Amino acid sequence: MTRQDLEQYERFWRANRSIADRLDEPEGSDYRANRRFMRAVERAIARVEDPLEREVLRLRYTDFRYDRRMTWPEVTAQLYPGRQPDRKTMYRLHRSALRHFEE
């Protein structure tokens, strides 16, 4: 898995949502292929050993609670409620998480 796969996750999520909105039974080949890709990304994230790094990747790339990818301030608020670490800390954590994700 690569960072590009993480970046594409949102595209597949939106495509499946669109298919599901248009069809009563969204089990077409595109829908299933998208779900397979999304599950592969989720499994790769789950294999990241450090729980904080894993959560950074999950929140940033696969959690669409706001109907879109979470922004860095939203990710920071979820990880550190009531505290605001500086951006460098979050970016360093993210960089480390990506390195472990791609291994």
Q: Reply yes or no on whether the pLDDT at 83 is more than 80.
A: yes
Structure tokens at 33: 């292929």
Q: Reply yes or no on whether the pLDDT at 64 is more than 70.
A: yes
**Percent of the chain residues past pLDDT 90, beyond the cut:** 27
Tens of pLDDT, residues 30-44: 777 888 888 899 999
**Which residues touch 26 (CB under 8 Å, ≥6 apart)?**
16, 19, 20
Structure tokens at 23: 């069809």
Indicate the average pLDDT of the chain.
83
Average pLDDT (41-62) is 92
